[in-house]
Amino acid sequence: MDRKQFWLRQSIKCDDCSLCTKRGTKVMARSKICKTRTRSKEVEFTCTRCRRQKITFLYETGSSSYISCRGGRLVSESKPGEYRIEETTLETQLKEEEKKRKKKEEEEKAEEEDDAAVAVFLQKQDDLRNLRVRKTIQSSLGFVKWDYGDESNDPDDDNGSQHEAPFIEKLEKQMQKLNEDRAAAILKRRSSDNNDEMHELEAAINAAMSVFNKGGGSDAMIEVATREAKAASAATKEQRNLPVELVEFGRDTNLQKWMDMTRRADVQRTTQARSDAKRLSSMGSDGPYQQIEGESSTDESDSETAAYKSNRDLLLQTAEQVFSDVVEEYSQLAVVEERFDNWKKDYPSSDRDAYMSLSVPATFTSYVRLELLQWDPLHEYMDFIDMNWYSLLYSYGNEDEKDISPDANLVSHLVEKVAVPILHHEIAHCWDMLSTRETRNAVLATELVVRYIPASSESLIELVAVLHDRLADAIGDLVVPTWSPLVLKAVPNGARVAAYRFGRSVRLMRNICMWNKIIALPVLDRLVLDDLLSGKVLPHLRSIQSNVHDAVTRTERLIASLCGVWAGPSAVGQRSPKLQPLVDYLLTLDRTLQKKHVSGLSEGETSGLARRLKKMLVELNEYEQVC
């Protein structure tokens, strides 16, 4: 065979040493006439690294095109850019299969090692975080006792409980920080999940919309838009791959970020599978009020809940030791209360002249603050009646029913000065407005304190003000997509994300309506009907009204969240004119359903949806529209 120069128009990789000879490279090779094709030559050149493997490609005489032959396979070109396998040897095929098998085993082994490393790392992170919290709590105990221990042990002290106040205050701050960290972890995870999901989805949405903006909604255009959306999503995902950044001791600073992203991706896949299963089951049923994805909240992991409870129990165990070194007469609230009560009975005039009713609340406050460390108004409902301090102080100074005792407002005073600030902090800094359980408990706790303090109380006014601000901020931060049906059809995961965002808006609406006994109805009207319904929810419903089944199902969930306030037989408010856009939307769906029936859709498919529409109009007290 003669030796000539050839220019490669495509990179060729050596199977032995993996050396890649790039396109445009000039190689010296030998050629011979190809027996299977008349105007072609088989060209061979030797790898410059291993000097063993002969790399063969097919060269067409009279042109500069060629096709590489890798691993012993002879490949021919039927059309420009299209290749097909002509023949292969059994030995080469077995070798390739063995390579694929080994590569698959290596990938599976590497994946298992990565999963194990992630699990070990996350467990160590949790243990380290819990250890830090425990050390902080334990160190606070030793620090405060060192500062105040001598004074609290003074036997001549008239009120030993007052010297424990700084320690109690430190415990309160520790409990506040524990609750704040728990809420911040949930918020951070939710924000990260949202950013991961929307970062890829927004690129896909923009790519699909750019295709549809050129005009047309045919199947061919949808196919092109789908292809562009997938490509944009894949490119965005590739850009988010974090490189290895090693610092001292070989530690990778991006390892934690990568593991968090991996965990969130697994959660998203699980959520998607659950959402698809629920939607398929609902498509085959005409039953009303099926809960949709996004209405339930599962933002806290079991491990985080267990860690929080463990640290909280440790804090409460520390609180039990506060009065352990105080003299007996001040060691328990029952002993102190009995002492003051006997003084009041035996020396009523002295008690009155000394204005003891003014100093008694300050004396009891430390004991009440210590017991209220157990009060967790967002996660567990607990009535004051079930607490020790309430049972001891409720009847204090009320033995004589003829005269009104100046101590009659003792419990109310303690609730206002001790309990309300705790609830205020929880609502302002720890309350998750999207959590139905936390909202329900917060409502019950607020109704509880309202029983004891007047509406004119400054602390109560401040509590309601911060409550309104938190709800308004939650509505402002909410995003409900209004993507067109074509975009939802073309973009993978687009329909699921839109449904989830709508479910989250319904959840927030239901949670806001729980406050109807605390927040004035005009204020609630502005928050729910103006800002949330008209500003966020209805635009989304109008964007999907061509899909009647989804539109009916989501509108049912919307009206269910309004029950008890503006919908249902137990509605507390009169029919608001701000609900008219929602009524008009229901009538539009009804007309769309009638058109589908006229166009040939069977009555069995439309009758169930029509009944559900009429039931929703009844829930909104629109009886005239039903007839």
Would strands 20-21 and 26-33 be described as parallel, antiparallel, or unpaired? Answer: unpaired
Tell me which of 603 and 144 has the higher pLDDT.
603
Which of 140-149, 185-194, 237-246, 560-569 has the weakest average pLDDT? 140-149
Rounded CA separation 460/280 (Å): 48
What's the pLDDT score for residue 84? 36
List b or e across 271-300, with b for residues whose CB sees 16 or more CB atoms inside 10 angstroms: bbeebeeebeebeeebebeeebbbbebeeb
Tell me which of 448 and 268 has the higher pLDDT.
448
Report whether 367 contacts 161 (CB < 8 A): yes
What's the pLDDT score for residue 80? 40
The closest of 12, 377, 329 to 152, measured between CA atoms, is 329
Residue with tokens 């975009």: 487
- Please report how the helices 165-212 and 356-371 are oriented relative to each other, as an axis angle in degrees rounded to 10: 50
Three-state DSSP state, 176: helix
Q: For 234-273, how does the pLDDT look when each residue is reduced to its tens digit (9 = 90+)?
A: 887 766 655 555 555 556 565 666 566 666 666 666 655 6
Residue with tokens 């103006």: 530
Rounded CA separation 48/19 (Å): 8
pLDDT(601) > 60: yes
Q: Which helix (H) or strand (E) holds 374?
A: none
pLDDT above 70: percentage of residues in the chain: 66
Q: Which residue type sits at 186?
A: I
Give this prediction's pTM.
0.70
Rounded CA separation 491/205 (Å): 6
Q: For 384-395, how does the pLDDT look when each residue is reduced to its tens digit (9 = 90+)?
A: 999 999 999 888
Three-state DSSP state, 624: helix
Which spans in 153-164 are helix H? none
Token output for 398: 């009320």
pLDDT(425) > 80: yes
* pLDDT tier, 73 (very low <50, low <70, confident <90, very high otherwise): very low
Which of 150-154, 170-174, 259-263, 451-455 has the weakest average pLDDT? 150-154
N- to C-terminal Cα separation, the chain? 94
Task: Indicate the average pLDDT of the chain.
Answer: 77
Residue with tokens 């320690």: 167
Rounded CA separation 555/544 (Å): 11
Report whether 76 contacts 40 (CB < 8 A): no
What's the pLDDT score for residue 389? 94
CA-based max dimension of the chain: 128
Residue with tokens 């997938």: 230
Mean pLDDT calculated for residue range 32-41: 62
Residue 6's DSSP bridge partners are: 27
Three-state DSSP state, 566: coil
What's the pLDDT score for residue 267? 62
Vertex 444 angle, CA 288 and 463, to 5°:
115
Rounded CA separation 494/550 (Å): 14
* pLDDT tier, 446 (very low <50, low <70, confident <90, very high otherwise): very high
* pLDDT tier, 134 (very low <50, low <70, confident <90, very high otherwise): low
Rounded CA separation 280/146 (Å): 65
Q: Is 571 left (phi over 0), alpha (psi -120 to 50) or beta?
A: beta
Rounded CA separation 95/92 (Å): 5
CA 58 to chain centre: 57
Query: Residue 232, Cβ neighbours under 10 Å: how many?
Result: 21
Mean pLDDT calculated for residue range 97-122: 78
Strands (DSSP E) found in 8-81: 12-13, 20-21, 26-33, 40-46, 54-60, 66-69, 74-79
Strands (DSSP E) found in 394-473: none
pLDDT(608) > 60: yes
Vertex 535 angle, CA 534 and 538, to 5°:
50
pLDDT above 90: percentage of residues in the chain: 32
List b or e across 31-49, with b for residues whose CB sees 16 or more CB atoms inside 10 angstroms: beebeeeeebbbbebbbee
Report whether 484 contacts 540 (CB < 8 A): no
What's the pLDDT score for residue 95? 75
Q: According to the 3-state scheme, what is the secondary structure of 467-492?
A: HHHHHHHHHHHCCCCCCCHHHHHHCC
